[in-house]
Amino acid sequence: MIAVSWIQLMIHDWVDHLEDTNQIELIAPREVANQCPLKSFKFYKTKEVATGFDEIKTGTPNTLRTLKDGKLKISPDGLLLHDQDGIAVSGDVRNSWIGVSTLQALFIKEHNAVCDALKKEYPSLDDEELYRYARLVTSAVIAKIHTIDWTVELLKTDMYGLLGKKFKDTFGHVGGAILGGLVGQKKPNNHGVPYSLTEEFVSVYRLHSLLPDNLHLRDISVTPGPNKSPPLIEEVPMPNLIGRKGEEALAKIGFEMLMVSMGHQASGALELWNYPTWFRDLITQDVGGQDRPDHVDLAALEVYRDRERKIARYNEFRRALLLIPISKWEDLTDDKEAIQTLKEVYGDDVEELDLLVGLMAEKKIKGFAISETAFVIFLVMATRRLEADRFFTSYFNEETYTKKGLEWVNSTESLKDVLDRHYPIMKKKRDG
């Protein structure tokens, strides 16, 4: 569940879609309306903007800055601060839950720790310089964790089936050697196209089936034996852990209990019929973190968004990736119930299959959490994200990061290192 929280933290940082001012409504077909939690719901259409880099201004709001020694504000209990309405004070407060909030707080602590280290090493640096160096170092740490820690967590396999044993013996895990090896190249490589994250990338990151219906809270006062989990004390429904309600719950649960609990709970599988029920009658938040009046059926909305943004259907998507399309439902899955349901929805026309449905139905490569189709996009965009960034290539040096800052990045290998740095009590308990 930590890995699930991590990817939502990343998605909120990577991509955003602006909303139009007009609402539209989705209405369930009469034949299935009685099976849907919402017979209809309203939401805002995606706003189209001209391509370019001047449309959206991003950065850390001054409300988060301490304006001293480059640091960011954080609560004394190590969690996020909250405003008068109980909304977390962070860069993005929309449609989040406490798993993401804890990671946001963790990396505020990481940023501030980098500031302390740089201030000690370079006492002449002022507030703005310390902030910028620490932001750069922390961003690189996050990118490194995602590349060689999270990716490998998602692809727990020796890779034999896909790339062959010789490839694995030569290069190691994709996330470790291949992606990590792109960092530090002499110059960025855009492959002739200005860098961007594509809509196809957004679509394959629709991973909501990873989330459970309930979070299992563990008794952290008990140290279990090897390969055992602390005793389960409560199952908390996920709707109680999102938005303002979630922030109130987190204050009672605390960072350590939540992180340990998530570390002992497996995520859901990315397959058909595993979409969380609570997502089908969901209260979302606006940019200010306030609950919106209209509930949404996120499962229906996700399919709609792909169609609205002109994402290719499953077969055409695979053709564009030079992968073999399916010619019959049996090419997609061996699950007879799934095949029957796909026929009921799409008839015999496999070209109509929506991408998200296909990704969930597709036979998985052994050991992979994601489908082959999604993996190809993951791999292409992950390498491109590193190759195209000057801060991971031509600027990945002491002059840009400072000597101390570069040492910090190079010595951090995983999320575990960050947790151990800021919560040594968790390490002590884990190691007995």
- Give the count of beta carbons closer than 10 Å to the beta carbon of residue 366: 10
Q: What angle do CA 396, 400, 402 make, to 5 degrees?
A: 105
Neighbouring CB atoms inside 10 A of 390's CB total 11
Q: CB burial class (10 A; 0-12, 13-18, 19+) of residue 185?
A: middle
**Local structure of residue 183 (DSSP, 8 states):** T
Q: Which residues are catalytic?
A: 12
User: What is the torsional sign of CA 118, 148, 168, 200?
Assistant: negative
Give the DSSP H/E element, type plus range, for residue 214: strand 214-218
The counts of H helices and E strands in the chain are 20, 4
Three-class secondary structure of residue 291 per DSSP: strand
Residue the block writes with tokens 């990736």: 321
Alpha-carbon gap, residue 303 to 332, rounded angstroms: 18
DSSP, collapsed to helix, strand or coil, labels residue 110 as: helix
**How is residue 327 written in tokens?**
């010619």
> How do strand 214-218 and strand 40-46 relate by DSSP bridges?
unpaired
**264 annotated to a ligand binding site:** no
Residue 398 tokens read as: 């002491």
Q: Is 367 left (phi over 0), alpha (psi -120 to 50) or beta?
A: left
Contacting residues for 299 by C-beta, under 8 A, at least 6 apart: 275, 279, 280
Strands (E) located in 14-93: 19-27, 40-46
Closest C-alpha to 9, from 133, 130, 107: 107
Q: Which helix (H) or strand (E) holds 234?
A: strand 232-237
Question: What is the C-alpha end-to-end distance of the chain, expressed in Å?
Answer: 23
Neighbour count for residue 131 (Cβ, 10 Å): 23
Sequence length of the chain is 432
* Known binding residues for heme b: 208
* Known binding residues: 208
